[in-house]
Amino acid sequence: MSFRELTYSMLLLISPLALATQVTSGNVNPKIINGISTELNQIPWQVSLGQYSYCGGTIIAPQWVLTAAHCVVYKDGTVDSKVDIVAHAVDFTSSKNAKKYVGDHIVVHPEYNRNTHSNDIALIKLSDKNEFSINTWIKLLSKEEQSLMESQFVNEWVENQTRKANLLVSGWGGTDPTKPKESGTTFLQHTLLSGVPFEQCIALWNSLDSGSVGSFDKMIHVVCATSPEPELATDSCFGDSGGPLVWRNQNNTNDKDLGLRLAGVVSFGHKCGTRIPGVYTKVSDYIEWVESILGTSLDELSGSTFTHDPFKDDYSHAMNHSAVQPDYKEHFSRGSSGGSTSLSSLLLLTGFMFSRKKTKK
């Protein structure tokens, strides 16, 4: 166990989260923010980095996990030498079905910038010849499908009223927007989000500082997502970093993988549960890089057979935390003391962008 994991496990024992170990599966409060609990094999591509999930990740090949670069890079720029990976862990209070692996080959995108979160993507390979179970890896969204998805975002987007949910996010992160760092969960949660057209995403982020135009529009390799209900705080949060943002290709719902595609990697956001969209690394822009590291075309991988479509789950019993107000004057970096910054400094300081990692390196 790494020092980071040991520290978090000690905090777990003395935090309100420890109380969750006394809750039976039949009496579990929905988590993420306004999410629902996940049952075994409903989201088989999801993994935890660390025994208690300081970050998430996605299985994309028999030996490979895709995650966020900021989950494996320290403040001084050094990269983790190895990472504990847990698959099939829907409930951290029980290790009955969990499978533990070690990833000892970690590749961070060469142009990753931890100050701006640009190119926030990394790959982790399992040690030796270990492989994940079959029917766990998910297909990456292609360039062609990216265009379809973005068109859907434009066609289905409406301001300040209920819009269609067309994305899925999952993780063990914070569940209460008013106390995001203290409300993690031992139960894997998932919820639906709405994709935000990029121009609207720029406008919403720029609204945080009326005194400057800002440079968010330079963050082109991202996908933006927000709550389908503007008045609700539905969102990813602390601890969800590196996890999957999934889109369903309506043209392929009858395929064995149900048309489910990995569209994004949880990267950063402004606080948790505000009307400012969460930001996810756009996977389709990195397919060539991924294939160069894997040494093979992703099309050559045998596809998974998924038996559950989480887009069809009943979310009516999810919590209904209300959206919280953004900070228009001060923006605090997640896991640090932070400080105030203007939007014009967006790409220079991390204070404006809150990484969605549970513990900060």
Amino acid letter, 259 = G
DSSP 168: E
CA distance 275 to 281: 19
> What residues have CB less than 8 Å from 205, skipping those under 6 apart?
214, 216, 270, 276, 277, 343, 346
Tokens of 100: 């533990």
Q: Which of 70, 117, 221, 321 is catalytic?
A: 70
Task: Please list the alpha-helical segments (H only) found in the chain.
Answer: 3-14, 143-156, 198-206, 287-294
Q: How far apart are CA 177 and CA 189, in angstroms?
A: 15
Angle at 123 between CA 176 and CA 36, to 5 degrees: 25
Residue 73 gets which letter from DSSP? B
Residue 159's closest CA among 209, 248, 226?
A: 226
Annotated catalytic, 120?
yes
CB 60 within 8 A of CB 245: no
Out of 80, 91, 120, 240, the active site residue is: 120
Return contacts of 212-217, CB within 8 angstroms, 24+ apart: 212/342, 212/343, 212/344, 213/343, 213/344, 214/343, 214/344, 214/346, 215/343, 215/344, 215/346, 215/347, 216/343, 216/346
- The helix/strand/coil state of 310 is helix
Which amino acid appears at position 271 of this protein?
A: K
How far is 217 from 235, CA to CA, in rounded Å? 22
Token couple for 282: 């756009």
DSSP code string of 221-261: SEEEEE-SSTTB--B--TT-TT-EEEEE-GGGTTSTTTTEE
Residues noted as catalytic? 70, 120
